[in-house]
């Protein structure tokens, strides 16, 4: 409610005034109402077409401090004349004449021939027993009407710093097409009561505002990472991949490291790179978690149905004990064609709990599950992994890995390259390069580089390789079944797609929620 300061609603005051004063001039009818208040009240009434108004910019003349003093007390020359008249004759040395304004007034009073010198005193000129203080009169007029009709005089007064000018917006206000003395009650809903008592006939209905923005819906929004993840899942599903059960962020050293032949003294196992869980610090040996087996069996049943078109064969009990022995043998003594690392294997390392550092831990138990029923299969996963890294613009202590695993007879490295070419083409990356790399679980291994058109340079986009025979044979997979795998981060393509240069804008506590809410549905551009 706009208030004019008297506590009454300004809109009502305007309507009341306009009744008999049409058109009215806002600054005259409401001199003490501020321009923003007036504007707000007029906007409100005009939106109901109760009145119309035109703003105009005009110049307002107002008194300065000195001008105000003169309007109240009289001009400097008047004060001098008054002092001389009162005393009959006033010594030039009188302290009343010593102030700067009195000196100014004295000069003016001479010019106006109000007073004159007589020896060393001032006396009133003859016939000047009454004088008219025109300056004061003019300033009083300005104070009342905020205008000065004579432009020359205005200029003079401004120069003398008695008045100044201000631009103000005033309004000419007229009755509008839906003029009324009071704001009518506007009805928003037609009720059964109104129909019954007939009041609908005279009621004033509020117009629909088709321009009003709808109320903000606090709906959920998908995170960009989730959207890009969905795109990748679709690509995998289109190619008959089965999703691996990645629900366990915490896994044992056995699956995360030992089964992948990361040596037990490997620096990656250090506290530096790996988050170890302290409570509980340890789990049982491989195969001791029935929930994990359950998840694997579900995936396996799905996968068999998919690859053979038949419901899964009876699920054999997995032999984790033999597998564990095989892995241990490869590390310590060499086996399955590998000469091994030949160091004393520590069993307690295998049961330590870690936040998994890669999803290849999951691929490993999926491949072990496959060994119970060996056949060509394609698995993928996209989920969280954790590395104890220094956090910066491109690294967080956790990220998402996209991982793919393909098992088939007679696979070759060229086949892996061809597959990766096809895969990255889906992301709009058509130009790949492979660089020999090292993973303890794949041989050969290749880093994958893609040419980024936007950045105009080669960027590392993934890691890949053919799983080593001693890894697959230790699981019980047949000799001629080969498996290749690859991994990449979900964050990197997402950052490129959404033009995010700092990963902390994408993930973590610094994420701006409005960015999450407003970003477009994802497109993996084909061009
Ligand atoms: N685990 C690898 C990584 O974290 C990716 C990878 C998966 C490499 C499978 C080869 C085979 O980078």
Average pLDDT, the chain: 90
Average pLDDT over residues 53-69: 92
- Phi, psi of 319, rounded to the nearest 5 degrees: -95, 90
pLDDT of residue 451: 82
pLDDT digits (tens, 9 = 90+) for 136-159: 999 999 998 889 989 999 999 999
For residues 13 and 7, the answer to whether their CB atoms sit within 8 Å is no
Alpha helices in 309-376 (DSSP H): 320-332, 347-351, 360-370
Q: What is the DSSP letter of 292?
A: H
Torsion of CA 191, 196, 198, 202, to 10 degrees: -10
For residue 358 and ligand 1, the question of a CB distance below 6 A is answered with yes
Q: How far is the CA of 464 from the centre of ligand 1 (A)?
A: 6
Counting from 1 in the atom list of ligand 1, the atom nearest the Cα of 357 is: 4
User: 90: how many CB neighbours lie within 10 A of its CB?
Assistant: 20
Q: How far is the CA of 442 from the centre of ligand 1 (A)?
A: 9
pLDDT digits (tens, 9 = 90+) for 315-327: 777 899 999 999 9
Pocket test for ligand 1, best of 246, 358, 460 (most atoms within 8 A of CB): 358
Q: Which H, E and C letters describe 164-186, residue by residue?
A: EEEEEEEEEEEECCCCCCCCCCE
Helix, strand, coil shares of the chain, percent, nearest 5, are: 40, 25, 40
pLDDT of residue 73: 92
User: Is the pLDDT at 5 greater than 50, yes or no?
Assistant: no
For residue 442 and ligand 1, the question of a CB distance below 6 A is answered with yes
For residue 403 and ligand 1, the question of a CB distance below 6 A is answered with yes
Q: How far is the CA of 6 from the centre of ligand 1 (A)?
A: 77
For residues 482 and 409, the answer to whether their CB atoms sit within 8 Å is yes
Axis crossing angle, helix 76-87 with helix 100-111, rounded to the nearest 10:
80
Counting from 1 in the atom list of ligand 1, the atom nearest the Cα of 487 is: 5
For residue 464 and ligand 1, the question of a CB distance below 6 A is answered with yes
pLDDT of residue 525: 57
Pocket test for ligand 1, best of 386, 485, 489 (most atoms within 8 A of CB): 485
Average pLDDT over residues 373-390: 94
Residue nearest to atom 4 of ligand 1 (CA): 358
Q: How far is the CA of 260 from the centre of ligand 1 (A)?
A: 10
Q: How far is the CA of 380 from the centre of ligand 1 (A)?
A: 12
Q: How far is the CA of 523 from the centre of ligand 1 (A)?
A: 26
Report the C-alpha gap between 441 and 374 in whole angstroms. Answer: 20
Torsion of CA 41, 43, 49, 53, to 10 degrees: 90
- 224's enclosing H/E stretch is helix 224-238
Q: How far is the CA of 385 from the centre of ligand 1 (A)?
A: 12
Average pLDDT over residues 494-518: 84
Q: How far is the CA of 165 from the centre of ligand 1 (A)?
A: 77
Axis crossing angle, helix 360-370 with helix 290-308, rounded to the nearest 10:
70
Q: By C-alpha distance, which of 427, 382, 397, 396 is closest to 505? A: 396
Pairing of strands 432-439, 442-452: antiparallel
Counting from 1 in the atom list of ligand 1, the atom nearest the Cα of 467 is: 11
Q: How far is the CA of 264 from the centre of ligand 1 (A)?
A: 18
User: Is the pLDDT at 526 greater than 50, yes or no?
Assistant: no
For residue 138 and ligand 1, the question of a CB distance below 6 A is answered with no
Average pLDDT over residues 406-427: 94
Any idea which of 63-77, 107-121, 385-399 has the lowest mean pLDDT?
385-399
pLDDT of residue 3: 44
User: Is the pLDDT at 64 greater than 50, yes or no?
Assistant: yes
Alpha helices in 358-481 (DSSP H): 360-370, 413-425, 469-475
User: Is the pLDDT at 4 greater than 70, yes or no?
Assistant: no
Report the C-alpha gap between 7 and 277 in whole angstroms. Answer: 68
For residue 486 and ligand 1, the question of a CB distance below 6 A is answered with yes
Report the C-alpha gap between 368 and 258 in whole angstroms. Answer: 14
> ipTM of this model?
0.96
Q: How far is the CA of 44 from the centre of ligand 1 (A)?
A: 66
Tokens matching residue 360: 């290849």
Residue nearest to atom 10 of ligand 1 (CA): 464
Average pLDDT over residues 98-114: 91
pLDDT of residue 523: 60
For residue 487 and ligand 1, the question of a CB distance below 6 A is answered with yes
Going by pLDDT thresholds of 50, 70 and 90, the confidence category of residue 524 is low
User: Is the pLDDT at 335 greater than 90, yes or no?
Assistant: yes
Percent of the chain with pLDDT over 70: 96
pLDDT of residue 6: 46
In which region does residue 428 sit, left (phi positive, over 0), alpha (psi from -120 to 50) or beta (all else)? left
pLDDT of residue 504: 87
Residue nearest to atom 11 of ligand 1 (CA): 485
User: Is the pLDDT at 500 greater than 50, yes or no?
Assistant: yes
Tokens matching residue 290: 């029935």
Q: How far is the CA of 373 from the centre of ligand 1 (A)?
A: 24
In which region does residue 311 sit, left (phi positive, over 0), alpha (psi from -120 to 50) or beta (all else)? beta
pLDDT of residue 521: 67
Counting from 1 in the atom list of ligand 1, the atom nearest the Cα of 260 is: 1
Q: How far is the CA of 361 from the centre of ligand 1 (A)?
A: 10
Tokens matching residue 163: 């008045």
Any idea which of 40-54, 73-87, 359-373, 506-520 has the lowest mean pLDDT?
506-520
Average pLDDT over residues 295-303: 90
Report the C-alpha gap between 275 and 29 in whole angstroms. Answer: 76
Q: How far is the CA of 325 from the centre of ligand 1 (A)?
A: 24
User: Is the pLDDT at 454 greater than 80, yes or no?
Assistant: no
Report the C-alpha gap between 280 and 439 in whole angstroms. Answer: 29
Counting from 1 in the atom list of ligand 1, the atom nearest the Cα of 405 is: 9
pLDDT digits (tens, 9 = 90+) for 200-254: 998 888 888 899 888 877 788 889 899 989 999 999 999 999 999 999 999 999 9
Going by pLDDT thresholds of 50, 70 and 90, the confidence category of residue 184 is confident
Q: How far is the CA of 335 from the centre of ligand 1 (A)?
A: 23
Supply angle C-alpha 318, 322, 315, rounded to 5.
10
User: Is the pLDDT at 361 greater than 60, yes or no?
Assistant: yes
Residue nearest to atom 5 of ligand 1 (CA): 487
For residue 465 and ligand 1, the question of a CB distance below 6 A is answered with yes
For residue 365 and ligand 1, the question of a CB distance below 6 A is answered with no
For residue 439 and ligand 1, the question of a CB distance below 6 A is answered with yes
pLDDT of residue 389: 86
Average pLDDT over residues 110-131: 91
Which residues 6+ apart lie within 8 Å of 170 measured at CB?
A: 25, 26, 27, 55, 56, 58
């Amino acid at each position: 409610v706009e208030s004019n300061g008297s506590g009454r609603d300004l809109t009502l005051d305007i309507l009341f005034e306009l009744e008999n004063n049409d058109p009215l001039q806002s600054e005259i009818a409401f001199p003490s109402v501020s321009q923003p208040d007036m504007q707000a009240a007029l906007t409100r009434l005009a939106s109901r077409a109760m009145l119309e108004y035109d703003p105009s910019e005009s110049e307002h003349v107002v008194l300065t401090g000195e001008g105000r003093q003169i309007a109240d007390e009289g001009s400097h020359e008047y004060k001098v004349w008054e002092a001389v008249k009162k005393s009959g004759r006033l010594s030039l040395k009188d302290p009343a004449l010593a102030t700067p304004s009195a000196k100014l007034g004295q000069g003016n009073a001479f010019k106006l021939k109000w007073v004159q010198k007589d020896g060393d005193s001032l006396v009133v000129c003859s016939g000047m027993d009454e004088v008219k203080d025109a300056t004061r009169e003019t300033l009083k007029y300005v104070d009342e009407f905020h205008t000065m009709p004579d432009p020359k005089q205005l200029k003079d007064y401004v120069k003398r710093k008695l008045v100044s000018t201000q631009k103000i917006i005033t309004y000419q206000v007229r009755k509008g097409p839906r003029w009324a003395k009071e704001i009518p009650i506007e009805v928003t809903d037609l009720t059964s009561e109104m129909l019954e008592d007939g009041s609908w006939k005279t009621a004033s209905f509020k117009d629909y505002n088709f321009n009003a923005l709808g109320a903000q819906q606090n709906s959920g929004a998908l995170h960009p990472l989730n959207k890009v993840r969905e795109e990748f899942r679709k690509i995998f599903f289109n190619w008959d991949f089965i999703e691996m059960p990645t629900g366990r962020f915490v896994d044992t050293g056995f699956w995360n490291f030992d089964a992948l032949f990361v040596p037990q003294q490997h620096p990656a196992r250090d506290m530096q790179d790996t988050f170890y869980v302290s409570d509980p610090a340890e789990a049982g040996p491989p195969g001791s978690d029935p929930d994990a087996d359950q998840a694997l069996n579900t995936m396996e049943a799905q996968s068999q149905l998919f690859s053979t078109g038949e419901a899964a064969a009876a699920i054999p009990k997995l032999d984790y004990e033999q597998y564990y022995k095989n892995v241990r043998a490869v590390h310590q003594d060499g086996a399955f064609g590998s000469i091994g690392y030949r160091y004393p294997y520590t069993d307690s390392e295998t049961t330590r709990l870690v936040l998994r550092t890669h999803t290849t831990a999951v691929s490993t138990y999926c491949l072990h599950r496959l060994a119970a029923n060996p056949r060509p299969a394609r698995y993928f996963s996209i989920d969280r992994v954790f590395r104890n890294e220094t956090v910066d613009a491109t690294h967080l202590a956790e990220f998402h890995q996209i991982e793919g695993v393909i098992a088939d007879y007679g696979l070759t490295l060229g086949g892996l390259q061809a597959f990766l070419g096809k895969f990255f083409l889906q992301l709009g990356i058509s130009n790949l390069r492979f660089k020999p790399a090292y993973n303890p679980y794949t041989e050969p291994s290749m880093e994958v580089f893609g040419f980024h058109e936007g950045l105009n340079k080669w960027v590392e986009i993934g890691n890949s390789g053919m799983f080593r025979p001693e890894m697959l044979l230790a699981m019980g997979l047949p000799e001629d079944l080969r498996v290749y795998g690859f991994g990449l981060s979900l964050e990197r393509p997402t950052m490129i797609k959404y033009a995010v240069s700092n990963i902390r804008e994408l993930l973590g506590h610094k994420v701006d929620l409005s960015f999450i809410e407003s970003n477009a549905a994802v497109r993996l551009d084909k061009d």
